[in-house]
Structures are given as C-alpha cells and as structure tokens.
Amino acid sequence: MKSKLPIYNQIGAVLLTVIVIPALFISFFTGPFELIIFKPASYYSILENAEYKEEFPRVVSEIVTDQLLSTDENTYPTILANKESLKTILMHYLPEEWMNGIIKDVIDKVIAYLNFKTPYTSIEVDITDLKTNLILNSSLISDEYLLSLDNCTVEEDSELDGKEIIDLYTLPICKPSAENRKIVSSTLSMMVEDKANQLPATINLIGVIPGGMILGDKSFYYYSITRWVFRLLPFVTLLLLFFIAYLLKNNKKIMRKWSGLIITTISAINLISLLVILIGFDQFTGLIFNRYFSLVIAGFGYVLLGMIQNVGNQALLWVIAVSGSGLLFGLVLLLSARLTKSKDTVIKESEKKTIPDIQSDASKKEIIPETIEEIEEQEKIVKKEKKKGKG
C-alpha cells in the first residue's frame, strides 16, 4: 500500500503556503517591536547620553520662552524681541532635578498612550517646580537679559530719565544706562512673574506638538486595528503552519521538507534584507522623518530622531536574532526530512528482506518423487551410491 497525498491536500497546502509566506515575514518583527519599541525602558538609555542631554534644556527653554511671550493679541514688547538671548538665559534657570524627571515622565506617558493605556488628554507634565523657579529668579533673568542687549543711544536712554513707571511696549530693544536699568529691570521682572503665574500647573504635550504630527481620531483608530492584527499575526501564522503539516501528515518526509523550505526561505530573505537596512538605517530614518521633525522645535526633532535611531537599531538586531533562529529551525527540518524514509521505501525494503528468506526456506525442502518412473530412478541412484560405498 503506497502513501500518496490526496490532490485536495496538495492544493490546500499550496494555497495556505501563499498566505503563510507574507504572514511569517511580518511575524518575525512582532516580538522585537512589542518588546523593544513599545517599552519605555528602551528609551531611558538616551537620557544618559551626553550629546542628547545637552539638547533637553534647549528644548524646554524654547517652549517656556514661547509661553512667556504668548499673549491674546499674539504680540509682545519690542524689548523682548531677542528670543534667542532669552532662551539661552532661561536654560540656566531650569531646575536640574525637574529636568531629569520630566523627560522620563514624557516617555512613560507617550508610550502609555501608544499602548492604549491612557487617552491623549492625559499626556500632561507637571511644571509647578519650573514656575516656582522662574518666579524666584525673575530679577536675575531680567538683569541678564538686559545686559545681553546692545547699549541704547543717548536719545533712547534720555526718554527714561526721571520716570518711575514705564510701559514695556514703548521701550526699544536696547540696554539702558545703569541709572535707568533698575526701573526697566524691575518692570521686566514683574512681567516675568506675572507670565509665570499665568502658566498652568500642567502642560498637555498634545498642545505643544504641531497639528501635522498628531494622530487624529480616524488615524488612531486605524493604528489600533493595525496594532491588534500585528499582535495576532504570529499565532495565526503558527496555526496555518500546523494545518499545512496536518494536510501533509501522510508523508512525513514531504511534510518536514515543505515546512522547512517555507521557514528557511523566509528567514534567509529576512536576514539579507535586515542586514542591508541595518547598514543604512540612520540615513533611511533621516530621510523618512526629517520632513515631520522640521515642524517641531529644532532640538526636539534632533532628540526624537536620535531616539528612533537608537531604539530602531535595537529592534532590528532582535529581529535578526529571531530570523537567525528561524533559519536554524528550518534547516533542522530539512535535515530531518533528508534522513526520514517514506512509507514506500520502508515497504520496499521489508519486501526485499522477506523474499530471499522464503526462497531459502523453499530450497531447503526435500523433493519427494511422485511418479513410478521417478521412484525407479531414485532407487537406481540409491543402489549406485551403496555400491560406491562398499567399493
């Protein structure tokens, strides 16, 4: 009895293989992405990187500067037009302990949002310590800012002589003389205190990020569906592989060879593709994300790109490791298929062993004479042998 595969089983295996190939390709990415990209701990290492650590105060000081200069009419005093100088000064008055905690808090809350654990309205950071520090150092901030400006002309400075109350909106962008600087600094200090007091206790990050980078409700819905499918895909792929093996179970040699070829081929393609991507990954991510990060604060875009490249490299290395394991498993299946004998081969070998035994047993049996002529001939042979024995 020969072990042939039914034609329906062969067609079913081919159709399932067409589905399994892309599913298996994507499934190799699921584990590393879930364990690396969507875990906050993967991003903490960048907090200790001195290159990026220098950018954090610049990012925060730019946000704070925009908040201090924002008004309902979207105008601010001309004397505060030197935003770069103001940002640089504010960097020195950001609480260091608060800075270290705020970045980690931002990472935790953004990843929690991407993992569906919090709504976007909850991506808030506490700036109470920052407000307190700005209010306490408002005089120093005002003095340093005025000293960073060019000297006023005699005409500009003379307009401040003898004044006890001034309007900041009427002042030119210049440094008054020592006699007039005190009243200007005092007025500017009060403005910093008032603006700091007007800041909320918490700031929602969604309000800071430009609209072009925020996922709308519709986009986030599609992201949720895609993520759900992405998580289920490895289990579906595994079930399909088991079903292919079930369809080919009548011939274990073909079953193992078929499964081994699928896994080995996809793993090898994955490895080659990933190695090529890994070599130019930083350039690749730069080309894709630069157009989006150009919308945000320069330093913030630089930090975000660094995080993506750092974590992306980690994830790719894990995908390479998973693909390598898949390649080894596929090779084991192919080797097992090579060493496995099919049922037809086993039956033929057993037949070859039994046929000689039957023939040898038959040859050992004595031939018994049946006719009278055969009996007489046999008696003559016996007599001749006896005569030879006597002689």
For residue 365, the model assigns a pLDDT of: 47
In a domain, 370, yes or no: no
pLDDT tens readout for residues 169-195? 888 889 988 888 889 999 899 988 988
Decide if pLDDT at 366 tops 90: no
Is residue 310 over pLDDT 60? yes
Judge if 228 and 265 occupy the same domain: yes
300 vs 273, residue with greater confidence: 273
Length of the chain: 391
Token pair of 76 as six digits = 């601010």
Q: Is the pLDDT of residue 353 over 90?
A: no
Rg (CA), the chain: 42
Compute, in degrees rounded to 10, the torsion defined by CA atoms 143, 149, 150, 153.
-60
> Are 98 and 186 found together in one domain?
yes
pLDDT-derived band at 220 (thresholds 50, 70, 90) equals: confident
Please tell me whether the overall predicted TM-score, pTM, comes out greater than 0.75 for this model: no
Q: How far apart are CA 158 and CA 176, in angstroms?
A: 9
In a domain, 84, yes or no: yes
d(CA 273, CA 77): 56
In a domain, 231, yes or no: yes
Same domain? For 176 and 65 the reply is: yes
Shared domain for 142 and 227, answered yes or no, is: no
CA distance 35 to 227: 13
Structure token pair of residue 50: 């001195």
Let me know whether 194 and 49 are in one domain.
yes
- Write out the residue range of the structural domain in which residue 22 sits: 7-38+214-344
Residue 382: inside a domain? no
237 and 133 in a single domain? The answer is no
Any domain includes 353? no
Q: Has residue 389 been placed in a domain?
A: no
- Tell me the two tokens of residue 114: 């991407």
Verify that 249 and 148 share a domain, yes or no. Answer: no
Q: Pick from 319, 344, 369: which residue ends a domain?
A: 344
Structural contact between residues 105 and 125, judged by C-beta atoms closer than 8 angstroms = yes
Find the Cα–Cα–Cα–Cα dihedral 352, 354, 357, 362, rounded to 10°: -110
Query: What is the arithmetic mean of pLDDT over 278-286?
Result: 85
In the chain, the number of structural domains is: 2
Residue 18, pLDDT above cutoff 90: yes
- Write down the pLDDT at residue 233: 93
In this structure, the answer to whether residues 96 and 62 fall within a common structural domain is yes
Interval 82-89 mean pLDDT: 89
- Look at residue 373 and tell me if it is in a domain: no
Is 320 a member of any domain? yes
- Same domain flag for 223 and 172: no
**One domain for residues 33 and 49:** no
58 plus 176 within the same structural domain = yes
**Domain end among 199, 224, 244:** 199
The sign one gets for the Cα dihedral 292, 295, 301, 302 is: positive
**Selection from 283, 289, 251, 314 nearest residue 43 by Cα:** 314
12 and 83 in a single domain? The answer is: no
pLDDT tens figures, 42-79:
888 887 887 777 788 888 888 888 878 876 666 778 88
End residue of a domain, out of 326, 344, 362: 344
